[in-house]
Structure 1
Amino acid sequence: MIGIKFESDKVIQALIKSLSNPKWSDQYKMVYVPNTQQNLNDILYVFKGVIWINYNRFFANKAINKYNETLDISWFRKRKINPHYKYCPEEYLLKLELKRYSNNTVRIYVPFFEMFINFYNDREINTLDESDIRGFLQHLIQKKMSNSYINQVINAIKFYYEVVLGMPHRFYDIERPRKEYKLPKVISKEEILSIINNTNNIKHRCVVKLLYGSGLRKSELLNLKVNDIDSKRMLVRVQNSKGNKDRFTLLSKNALDDLRIYFKEFRPKDYLFEGQKGGKYSGESVLRIVKLASEKARIRESVTPHVLRHSFATHLLESGVDLRQIQVLLGHSSTKTTEIYTHVATNTFKTIKNPLD
């Protein structure tokens, strides 16, 4: 059946009467109609533009990513068996595969869920309830784990109960830590140039120039193909980025000149940046390139690829580029995410007269 639960409202009640043979359930205290495709279509049509409808349960097995990288979780199944350790249930792994979660998400969810079930090693999974989850989270808080760490643990646990077992909203009342509000770390243009000048070779220089000059995430840089560089329109095409979105961002003339030299020397076949044996370049290598170059440049701040992305956005804002345009270049879904850069852009403060002066 399709259950229709709502606050008392005359408009909604009138619209429900227009459905085909709606009935009232005393047991569940809601209106219901048979679960057919026609009834689902009718509900969406009747209420469209009037109220918000949560129909996620009707598409519970829908893949979250259509074009995601090939998911490989065979290594979870092939691990050496420890008789004193509880392993992630097969149905958990299968659901991750069917819904095509990213490899990064799988590497987070599986160990975190196993950490939870092994905390209660002497109990069966189906006997654990909300109080047990809270007890485990309290244990993590006492170990002084970060808020983001605890939130990821909650997501991994909720995935089992609400997606694998199909028990919607059962654990939505679990308290999440308050989100930490931290400003993005930004370095100056002079420091960016110093990092570029301290890279070891043309390949490393191109990596840094694209991270900063195009505002790329590390994963986006690693997934770039050779034909994603559009030299005619001076754009970089970013495919299947965070949120499974495509976008275009800026291509620096300075970076393009170096990319042409790099291409002649390294001749990448598929990915723009490849390892010594071919295939996609590793994230560890990119991080090491940025770290070593920033250390040689004697920058006191800890610089990561994401710091270069933050600096790209902040420097654009300081030069007068509209916030909405920066949002598009970064691939943010909401301007609220992009607005964080107004808190670190120096032009925000230059117009303010200091009371001491």
Structure 2
Amino acid sequence: MKWEAKIITHKKEKRIAVYFEKDIDLIARIKKLDGSRWSQSLVAWHLPDTEENRVRFKIPLVSYSLPSTEGIEQIEKFKQFLRSKRYSESTITTYSEALKSFLVFYRDKAVADINNEDVIIYNNEHILKNNLSASYQNQVTNAIKLFFQTIRETKMMVDKIHRPKNAKTLPNVLSKEETFRLIDLTTNLKHKTLLALIYSSGLRISEAINMKITDIDRQRMLIHVKNAKGKKDRYTLLSTKVLELLKEYYAIYKPKTFLFEGQYGEQYSSRSAQSVLQQSAKKAGITKQISLHTLRHSFATHLLENGTDLRYIQDLLGHSSPKTTMIYTHVSSTSLKNIINPFDM
């Protein structure tokens, strides 16, 4: 997906304009960003010119200084430390950019002299003042904590650095009828198989497109999910109906390496998969905002509504903590249906 972002002045205000050919998935993602608007005159979406948005759309932070020489050296050492701990490159980039923001703020202060009070000042004078999100603040906090654990001489007490309070939002979930209608109305066999597999096995999109033919265990009716989030392996369910779909799909498409491949044998892209979902949702008359992750949420919720123990759902999803899986108890309709509304008594 080709897109271009640049700084503009719109109605006497600095904004970031994003130009791209019409793409349903990208439009849905931009709509979720704070302060995003469509401009007919610009023929583009535009957002507030914040540090977070500059990082998101790969715009140089020209209005922000670089860290001190010491800060730059420390960031490089921090990257080496993360690589030695086998963090993914995307996580290394996220953490090092977040740390950079903090060290830019304190570029006139020696790293050894930075203390816990400085973190509070940074949050108030930079994060809150520039309307940066709680999730971005959380990224910076994680980076700061991890960074100062690697520093020998420091005034920072890492265990007393507190994370921001996150908003407790509930995931969007499809009903069983909506899910099956969405999959049934997907006419392309590859697309139908992909959506059915993600839903029936509770997969993340990255897990689905990284999956290889050898990961399907037909004898045990399980799927081996390898090197998933947190570099963890797990097994999840293989549906008998999806196995039949997979057989038909394999006979026609004959993938060579990855289970789902693009037109020229390359790994299938998450952007293409998201586009497929949006098209199928439109056919199915689903108007709520959904993503491929909605299918994973729906899988977990439907299992819970069918009486599956939360511990098994946690294992199938690959959650480290049961607290993460507990969120589905708040979106399950089964327990709510058993409550008699006082208005109906």
TM over 0.5: yes
Question: Aligned partners of 1:200 and 1:167: how far apart in 2?
Answer: 60
2:117 pairs with 1:117: no
Question: Aligned partners of 2:91 and 2:152: how far apart in 1?
Answer: 19
Listed one character per residue, the Cα deviations across residues 176-232 of structure 1 (whole Å, up to 9, x for unaligned) are 212332222211112112322343622221221111110112222122111111122
User: Residue 106 of structure 1 aligns with which residue?
Assistant: 92
Listed one character per residue, the Cα deviations across residues 152-191 of structure 1 (whole Å, up to 9, x for unaligned) are 1111122222136586973332232123322222111121
Call closer, same or farther: CA 1:169–1:128 in 2, change over 3 Å.
closer
2:141 pairs with 1:160: no
User: Residue 179 of structure 1 aligns with which residue?
Assistant: 166
Call closer, same or farther: CA 1:124–1:169 in 2, change over 3 Å.
closer
User: Residue 96 of structure 1 aligns with which residue?
Assistant: 82
Higher strand share: 2
The one of 278, 282, 290 aligned to 1:291: 278
What is the deviation of 1:122? Answer: 4.8
Question: Aligned partners of 1:96 and 1:356: how far apart in 2?
Answer: 57
Unaligned runs of 5+ residues in structure 2 are 1-59
What is the deviation of 1:338? Answer: 2.1
Say whether the 8 Å CA contact 1:91–1:164 is kept in structure 2: no
Say whether the 8 Å CA contact 1:162–1:168 is kept in structure 2: no
Question: Aligned partners of 2:151 and 2:187: how far apart in 1?
Answer: 48
Instruction: After TM superposition, list the pairs within 5 Å mapping 1:14-163 onto structure 2.
Output: 85-86=66-67, 87=72, 89-123=75-109, 125-138=111-124, 139-163=126-150
RMSD of the alignment, in Å?
2.8
Call closer, same or farther: CA 1:124–1:203 in 2, change over 3 Å.
farther
What is the deviation of 1:100? Answer: 0.5
Listed one character per residue, the Cα deviations across residues 87-113 of structure 1 (whole Å, up to 9, x for unaligned) are 573212211211110233123112212
Question: Aligned partners of 1:279 and 1:164: how far apart in 2?
Answer: 42
Question: Aligned partners of 1:166 and 1:277: how far apart in 2?
Answer: 53
Moved more, 322-331 or 182-191: 322-331
Call closer, same or farther: CA 1:92–1:334 in 2, change over 3 Å.
closer
Question: Aligned partners of 1:208 and 1:175: how far apart in 2?
Answer: 39
Say whether the 8 Å CA contact 2:112–2:154 is kept in structure 1: no
Call closer, same or farther: CA 1:101–1:125 in 2, change over 3 Å.
same
Question: Aligned partners of 2:153 and 2:110: how far apart in 1?
Answer: 18
Question: Aligned partners of 1:230 and 1:325: how far apart in 2?
Answer: 19
2:326 pairs with 1:345: no
What is the deviation of 1:125? Answer: 4.3
Say whether the 8 Å CA contact 1:109–1:152 is kept in structure 2: yes
The one of 200, 203, 209 aligned to 2:196: 209
Question: Aligned partners of 2:108 and 2:251: how far apart in 1?
Answer: 61
User: Residue 214 of structure 2 aligns with which residue?
Assistant: 227
Call closer, same or farther: CA 1:174–1:189 in 2, change over 3 Å.
same
- Percent of residue pairs identical: 43
What is the deviation of 1:300? Answer: 1.6
Listed one character per residue, the Cα deviations across residues 63-108 of structure 1 (whole Å, up to 9, x for unaligned) are xxxxxxxxxxxxxxxxx9x996345732122112111102331231
What is the deviation of 1:245? Answer: 2.6
TM-score relative to the length of structure 2: 0.72
Say whether the 8 Å CA contact 1:92–1:164 is kept in structure 2: no
What is the deviation of 1:344? Answer: 1.6
Question: Aligned partners of 1:354 and 1:187: how far apart in 2?
Answer: 23
Call closer, same or farther: CA 1:167–1:129 in 2, change over 3 Å.
closer
Unaligned runs of 5+ residues in structure 1 are 1-79
Partner letter of residue 85 of structure 1? L
User: Residue 55 of structure 2 aligns with which residue?
Assistant: none
Alignment coverage as a number of residue pairs: 278
What is the deviation of 1:262? Answer: 2.1
User: Residue 320 of structure 1 aligns with which residue?
Assistant: 307
Question: Aligned partners of 2:104 and 2:322: how far apart in 1?
Answer: 41
TM-score relative to the length of structure 1: 0.69
Call closer, same or farther: CA 1:180–1:263 in 2, change over 3 Å.
same
SS at the partner of 1:311?
helix
User: Residue 194 of structure 1 aligns with which residue?
Assistant: 181
Call closer, same or farther: CA 1:266–1:126 in 2, change over 3 Å.
farther
